[in-house]
Structure 1
């Protein structure tokens, strides 16, 4: 906890500072949601194909990034909204200007009560 997943268009691979983003996001998650630093984990999942609206996918004029943060229950909606806004601001700083229009989104939700984990 928290479990952070970043789905993003492969077209933004060279424009996205993933390491810097993850580090800054972990700091924001600790500060805003009182997470433990050693508990923050982020997984990046590039997508080979992104289709936006009616655009020809080969045009590669759009890129999409969606960040999902799942936390143990207990944070109020205001805290979750603040963290979502922080994610969007961090994306602005960690995705370089490029030849695509960026569509960024974020959501923060509670992990299901069945969530369990182990470390080895």
Structure 2
């Protein structure tokens, strides 16, 4: 915990400083949600096709970045909202102008009670 997933349009890849974003995001999660730094894990998942409205996806004029953060239960709604806002600000800083319209979003949610993990 936290479990962080970043889904993004591959058209954004050249303009997206993913390593810098992950480092800044982990710092924000520690500061805002009181997570331990070594517990922060982020997985980036590029998507080859982004469809927007009725536009031809081959035009590649739009990019989506959606960040999902799963935390163990117990954080207040205010804390989750502050973290979501911080994520959006960090995306503004770490996704440059790549010639596309950026659609950025973030969701901070509680992990289900069934959440389990292991490390080797």
Q: What band does the TM-score fall into relative to the shorter chain?
A: over 0.9
Q: Residue 86 of structure 1 aligns with which residue?
A: 86
3-state DSSP of counterpart to 1:109 = strand
Q: TM-score, normalised by structure 2?
A: 0.99
- Deviation, structure 1 residue 98: 1.6
Aligned residues: 120
Mapped to 1, the partners of 2:55 and 2:61 lie a distance apart of 8
List gaps (5 residues or longer) in structure 1.
none
- Deviation, structure 1 residue 47: 0.1
Task: Tell me which stretches of 4 or more aligned residues in structure 1 moved more than 6 Å.
Answer: none
Q: How does 1:37-56 map to 2 (within 5 A)?
A: 37-56=37-56
List gaps (5 residues or longer) in structure 2.
none
Q: Residue 36 of structure 2 aligns with which residue?
A: 36
Q: Residue 59 of structure 2 aligns with which residue?
A: 59
Mapped to 2, the partners of 1:98 and 1:47 lie a distance apart of 16
Q: Residue 103 of structure 2 aligns with which residue?
A: 103
- Deviation, structure 1 residue 16: 0.3
3-state DSSP of counterpart to 1:118 = coil
Q: Residue 26 of structure 1 aligns with which residue?
A: 26
Q: TM-score, normalised by structure 1?
A: 0.99
How big is the alpha-carbon RMSD for the aligned residues of Structure 1 and Structure 2?
A: 0.4
